[in-house]
Amino acid sequence: MLLDGKRAIITGAAGGIGSATARAFIREGARVVLVDRDQGRADELAAEMSAELGGDSVGVGADVATEDGCRLVVDRALARFGGVDVLFNNAGIIRRADVVNISVQDWDRVFAVNVRAVFLMCKLVVPVMAAAGGGSIINTGSGWGLTGGANAIAYCASKGAVVNMTRALAIDHGPQGIRVNSVNPGDTDTPMLREEARQLGADLDEFLRDAADRPLRRMGRPDEIAAAVLWLASDASSFVTGAALPVDGGGTA
């Protein structure tokens, strides 16, 4: 098993990519803290994982855009498992608008969830990993963290920040045995993608057809993103750090 005995935290665990990654981690032997803003959803997911796969997982309800929320998550991980070997910073939101039309409140919330949460979780987890001799951190970027995109200025800016913050973390904490990488999905078949169509007032079928306009001629599946995260979390990628891995069907190409 690629993660046999590893202790992991997944934020945004109830989402499409988060839940697919939870399944992949548990199948590969990890013990997992499943984080969602809503404690009920987190508990439901943990129960679902237990019934489907067995293993050892626990749901934690917390807003990881806040310091108290992140501290709660890490404290629960330490109390339950005694350490953290893998951190998947996956919580994220999108607001589709250009610079003229996005509100200051939406800009701030996108940066709080997409950037501040990564900073706070790493601030708390890095010392835990360093004391144990190392670990692996994976941050969810986006194809739009590597290139620009229309009507998504806050999202593009936040994901660009995640990608470059990942590089800085890798440089600072590589000597402590901590690898830090970003996975950068293209359009993936999740509820969040459908929410984008709603925000834009777009026809859903047309929106999804446009999302498939890439060299592989289709959208991604959550399990395909999860497979990349699993590889980055595992020792199979032991010499990989500071990487921004596109998993996008060739979209950024």
State both tokens at 203: 């026809």
Task: Based on the residue annotation, tell me whether 169 is a catalytic residue of this protein.
Answer: no
Q: Which residues contact 86 (CB under 8 A, 6 or more apart)?
A: 3, 6, 7, 8, 9, 25, 30, 135, 136, 137, 138, 233
Query: Residues 155, 181, 186, 233: which is the catalytic one?
Result: 155
Contact between residue 25 and residue 55 where contact means Cβ atoms under 8 Å apart:
no
Nearest to 32 by CA among 11, 1, 61: 11
Question: Across 65-207, where does the E strand assignment appear?
Answer: 86-89, 135-140, 178-185
Pairing of strands 86-89, 135-140: parallel
State both tokens at 86: 């893998």
**73/211 Cα distance (integer angstroms):** 34
Catalytic amino acids?
Answer: 155
